[in-house]
A and B are shown apart, each in its own frame.
Chain A
Amino acid sequence: MVKARAKLKDSEFAEDVEILNNNNMVMNGKNCELSQVNLDVPVTGTVYGTLLNYKGSLEALKNQVHHPPYNEPPKGPVLYIKPKNTFSAFAKPIPLPTGVPELEIGAALGIVIGKTATRVKKAQAMDYIEGFTIVNDISIPHESVYRPAIRYKARDGFCPIGPWIVPKDSISNPDCLAIRVYINGQLKQENTTSNLIRPISRLIEDVTDFMTLNAGDVLLVGVPENAPLAKANDQIRIEIDEIGYLENPIITEEKLAMEGIS
């Protein structure tokens, strides 16, 4: 049985749980089905995203990287912040903004930091990781990655996280985890973290070289190329091997305004 940490909506702290299977866990001695419990975001810190860290996502830019405005391929990791207003829990609706037909689904493995990490070397990087979770790094589709994309990536509810944090010791090899995206039960995307340009340890070394990651922060390893698009009322499910799945529906902003977001 795999241990994990999950947080209930009305609880102050994340608690230890045991994962029975992708749909069931034991929490406080009780068997619960994921769909029956009101889960909260299992992390507390800052969420940093990484752009263009899948080989295929950089290749998709083709020759553009050698022309203005980019002029050359990225040297360091391309990072951004998903602010607090974007955080959302398992099963919570992702608001579809008025006038936006479709959202881009960003299926990301989230590295949950376990202790203060400053200028960490590759060889020690795993010591600074508590575990892993699933993050849906939602964006409004946009072509250019020249300027920061707050308006496209930092909308309310654009960063579902969960359902739980699986400790690193329970993951056989985080640099080789299959990721799948299903929309309404149909497989739309499949990739694996073995396609990262910067594998996890290297990414931590390069990021903590200039900025400290703190316990509870989450560093996303990136989103694979050909991100699937989804529309109103679609049910999005991201599966990552050895972690579980994260499921959220897309609901229009207007509808959510009528019903309120629980």
Chain B
Amino acid sequence: MKKARIAYAGAIHLACEYKGQLKLTDGRIVEEQDVVWLPPLEPRTVFALGLNYADHARELAFKAPEEPLAFLKGPNTFIGHRGQTRRPLDATYMHYECELAVVIGKTAKGVKKAEAFEYVCGYTIANDYAIRDYLENYYRPNLKVKNRDTCTPIGPWLVDAGDIPDPMNLSIKTYVNGKLTQQGNTSDMIFGIAELIEYFSSFMTLSPGDVILTGTPEGLADTAVGDEITTEIEGIGKLVSTIVSDDIFTKGYEPTDIKIDC
């Protein structure tokens, strides 16, 4: 089953895909363009992998890592399908990264590779945007590159693990305004899903709702304001986001504005 979290007609709903439309838990069937898509889950701890495809590591002139290169993301960075991702004015190179996102379904500690898939409840897609202008060599990639507000679209669906018989053989594609720019296959991961679960759970406890973004293959390109970026993974879906300019965030912005906090 493909599940979504959406806002529709004044409330937040869980929904599932139904003949190209969305079926809400209360029975209503609605068109996908009539809803606001939210991240398909509220992620707990989110791991992201750097340089986890050999071709991409080469592309960035790095040798493949001997141990997974992982960093964490905060909740501020996630947005749903068809959301807006902000491109700062001073950015000269902001690229997408289409990634298979693995969702943990039960508590995992000291899990061995052979049993690792028992701990996966589903899959979704993440677009792990990076702005290379802000890279610094301390805890690289630093949060200013990888944990910006709006810079990690995720969704549209959380697809049940049972519906994806071989997650280690899925084609990955990114389109910029409809033109194919990135292409790869999850079979080319350096550290596969099972190895990553074994690795993380060897030194910390994973919990339901934790998510592992498994890295991206080669084919990065700069994005411009107005671009529509579609990240697609076979059997999981197509995640769309639009690059928007700083202007729409700064127009009405006053630092002394009262924030919504009650």
Q: Give residues in A with beta carbon < 8 Å to B.
A: 46, 48, 51-52, 69-72, 74-76, 78-81, 83-86, 97, 114-121, 124, 128, 145-151, 154-156, 210-215
Please report B residues at the A interface, Cβ cutoff 8 Å. 44-45, 47, 67, 69-77, 88, 134, 136-144, 147-149, 203-207, 253, 255-256, 259-261
Decide if A76 touches B260 in the complex (CB within 8 Å).
no
| Docked CA distance A114–B259 (Å) | 11
Identity of the chain A residue whose Cβ is nearest the Cβ of B261 in the assembled complex: A115
A136–B44 CA distance with the chains assembled, in angstroms: 21
Chain A residues with Cβ under 8 A from B255's Cβ?
119-121, 124
Instruction: Name the distance in Å between B39's Cβ and chain A's nearest Cβ.
Output: 15
B75 and chain A: residue at smallest CB distance: A46
Bound Cα distance from A46 to B45, whole angstroms: 9
Please, which residues of chain B bring their CB within 8 A of the CB of A117?
Answer: 259
Can you name the residue of chain B whose Cβ is closest to the Cβ of A152? B203
Q: A212 contacts B138, CB within 8 Å?
A: no
Question: Distance in Å from the Cβ of A57 to the closest Cβ of chain B?
Answer: 12
By secondary structure, the A interface counts as loop
Known A147-B139, A210-B144; 20 more pairs at CB < 8 Å = A48-B143, A52-B138, A70-B137, A78-B142, A80-B72, A81-B74, A83-B72, A85-B206, A85-B207, A97-B203, A120-B255, A124-B256, A150-B70, A151-B67, A151-B203, A210-B88, A211-B76, A211-B148, A212-B149, A213-B76
A97 to B71, CA, bound (A): 21
Q: Is the CB of A48 within 8 A of B136?
A: no
B120 CB, nearest partner CB in chain A, Å: 18
Q: Are B72 and A75 in contact (CB under 8 A)?
A: no
Identify whether the interface residues of B are mostly helix, strand, loop, or mixed.
Answer: loop
Nearest chain-A residue to B260 (Cβ)? A116
Question: Measured between alpha carbons, how far is A80 from B143 in the docked complex, in Å?
Answer: 7
> B70 contacts which chain A residues (CB < 8 A)?
148, 150
What is the bound-complex CA distance between A146 and B259, given in angstroms? 36
* A156 CA to B107 CA, complexed, in Å: 13
Asked if residues A84 and B45 are in contact (CB atoms below 8 Å), the reply is yes
A211 and B143 CA atoms in complex are apart in Å by 9
Residue of B nearest to A79 (CB): B143
Known contacts A81-B73, A211-B148: does B44 contact A51 (CB below 8 Å)? no
| Min C-beta distance of B87 to chain A, whole Å | 12
State A80–B73 Cα separation when bound (angstroms): 9
Q: Are B74 and A211 in contact (CB under 8 A)?
A: yes
In the complex, the answer to whether A148 meets B45 with C-beta atoms within 8 Å is: no
CB pair B259–A118 under 8 Å, yes or no, is yes
Which listed residue, B47, B88, B134, B204, touches A76 by the CB 8 Å rule?
B134
16 interchain pairs (CB within 8 A)? A51-B138, A72-B137, A79-B143, A79-B147, A80-B72, A83-B44, A85-B205, A97-B203, A115-B261, A124-B256, A148-B71, A148-B139, A155-B203, A156-B204, A211-B77, A211-B148
